[in-house]
Amino acid sequence: MSQVSFGPPRPGSTQLDAAIGSPLPDWALALALAATVTLLWEMAIRLFSVPAFVLPAPSAVIRSLIENWAQLAAATESTALEILLGFVLAAITGIAIALVIVRFDRFGRALYPLIVLFQNVPKVALAPIFILWFGFDLAPKVLLIVVIAFFPVAIDMLVGLQSVEPSFVALMQSVGASRSRILLDVRIPHSLPHLMAGLKVAITFSVIGAIVGEFAGASRGLGYMIQFASTQLDTPLIFAALLVVSVLGLAFYYVVELAERVLVPWAPKFDSTHRIQDS
C-alpha cells in the first residue's frame, strides 16, 4: 500500500512529528498555535504599554472572565436558548422551502427569486423592525436568526435534491413511482449530506443573528453584555464576552458535526491531511 497525498503538507509537521516520534493530532497543533499567539499578544501589550481600554492583555481578559463569571454564565444561557430555537426553526424553514421548490415546479420557480431577493435585504436593518413588532423578549431575536440562517439550509438541500443522477429518477419512473415517491426514496436520502453542510453554515449564522438581535435591543444575553461593557469602556469584559461567544459557537458547530457523523455516516468528511490510500 502506498499513500498518495493531495494538497500541501502542513508546514513543519514532518520535522515536528519526527521529533516527538508520532504524529501530533490536529487539536494539539491548534492549541499550540493558540498558546503561541496568546503569549505574543501578552508580550506585545506589556512591551509597548498599551492601555487596557484600547487593547487588553490576555491576562486581563481572563481576570475579567473570572470576576464576571456569574453574569457571563447567565448571559450565555439566554443567548444559547435564542441560538437553539432560532437554528431549529431556520432548519425547518429551509428544508420546507427546498422541498416545496422541488415538488411543485411552477410555484418553486416563482418562489426561488423571491427568496434570493429577500436574502439580499440587510438583516441588521430588520432587527429594529422586529423589536418594534415583537418587543424586547425572545421572539424578535429568534425571528432574526431564522431569516439569517434559513438560506444556506434551503440552498444546500435544494442542490442535493436536484443533483440526483437522472438515471435513478428514470429507473423509478419506469416502475411507476410517483413524484412524491421519488422525492421520498431517492431525492431526500441523496440530499442529506448537502443538508448537513448547510446546517453547519446555519449554526454559525445563528450565533451571529443572536448577537445582532441583542445589539438591537435586549436586557440580557452576551450581545447585551458586550454593548453594556462598551459604554463603560470595559474592554477586558468585551473581550471576555467575545471569547464566550466564540466558544459557544464552536460547541454548537461540533454538536451539528457530531449529529452528521451519527445520522449521515456516508457524508464526506473534512480531512486536514488530504490523504487517501492507493493500492
Q: Are residues 11 and 66 in the same domain?
A: no
178 or 111, greater pLDDT: 111
Q: Are residues 140 and 253 in the same domain?
A: yes
Q: Are residues 115 and 20 in the same domain?
A: no
Q: Are residues 11 and 80 in the same domain?
A: no
Give me the percent of the chain exceeding a pLDDT of 70.
87
254 or 184, greater pLDDT: 254
Q: Please compute the mean of the pLDDT values over residues 220-248 and round it to a whole number.
A: 92
| pLDDT tens track for 118-156 | 888 888 888 888 888 888 888 999 999 999 999 999 999
Q: Are residues 150 and 22 in the same domain?
A: no
Residue 122 DSSP class: -
Q: Are residues 186 and 126 in the same domain?
A: yes
> Is the CB of residue 153 less than 8 Å from the CB of residue 88?
no
| pLDDT tens track for 184-218 | 888 888 889 999 999 999 999 999 999 999 988 87
Residues in Cβ contact with 189 at an 8 Å cutoff, skipping those fewer than 6 apart? none
- pLDDT for 278 beyond 50: no
- pLDDT for 277 beyond 80: no
Coil, strand or helix: which one is 177?
A: coil
> Is the CB of residue 224 less than 8 Å from the CB of residue 218?
yes
Residue type, position 189, single letter: P
Confidence band for 4, pLDDT divided at 50, 70 and 90: very low
| pLDDT tens track for 25-52 | 777 888 888 889 989 998 998 888 888 8
pLDDT of 15 reads 52
Tell me the CA end-to-end span of the chain in Å, nearest whole number: 5
Q: Are residues 150 and 35 in the same domain?
A: no
Q: Which residue has the cell 418594534?
A: 132
pLDDT of 195 reads 93
Confidence band for 6, pLDDT divided at 50, 70 and 90: very low
Handedness of CA 76, 78, 81, 87 (dihedral sign): negative
Structural domain range at position 265 = 58-278
Q: Please compute the mean of the pLDDT values over residues 3-7 and round it to a whole number.
A: 43
The C-alpha cell of 155 is what? 440552498
pLDDT of 29 reads 84
The C-alpha cell of 103 is what? 415538488
Give me the percent of the chain exceeding a pLDDT of 90.
46
In terms of C-beta density within 10 A (0-12 exposed, 13-18 middle, 19 or more buried), how is residue 47 classed? exposed
Q: Are residues 16 and 65 in the same domain?
A: no
1 or 168, greater pLDDT: 168
- pLDDT for 267 beyond 80: no
Any bridge partners for residue 277, and if so which?
Answer: 3
Q: Are residues 73 and 211 in the same domain?
A: yes
C-alpha distances in Å from residue 9, one per residue of 202, 244, 273: 30, 32, 7
Q: Are residues 110 and 63 in the same domain?
A: yes
Q: Please compute the mean of the pLDDT values over residues 78-89 and round it to a whole number.
A: 96
Residues in Cβ contact with 275 at an 8 Å cutoff, skipping those fewer than 6 apart? 3, 4, 5, 6
**Which domain-ending residue is among 30, 49, 68?**
49
**pTM exceeds 0.95 for this model:** no
Q: Are residues 37 and 113 in the same domain?
A: no
CA 210 to CA 199: how far, in whole Å? 16
CA 122 to CA 106: how far, in whole Å? 28
Confidence band for 2, pLDDT divided at 50, 70 and 90: very low
The total number of structural domains in the chain stands at 2
Q: Are residues 72 and 89 in the same domain?
A: yes
The C-alpha cell of 250 is what? 464552536
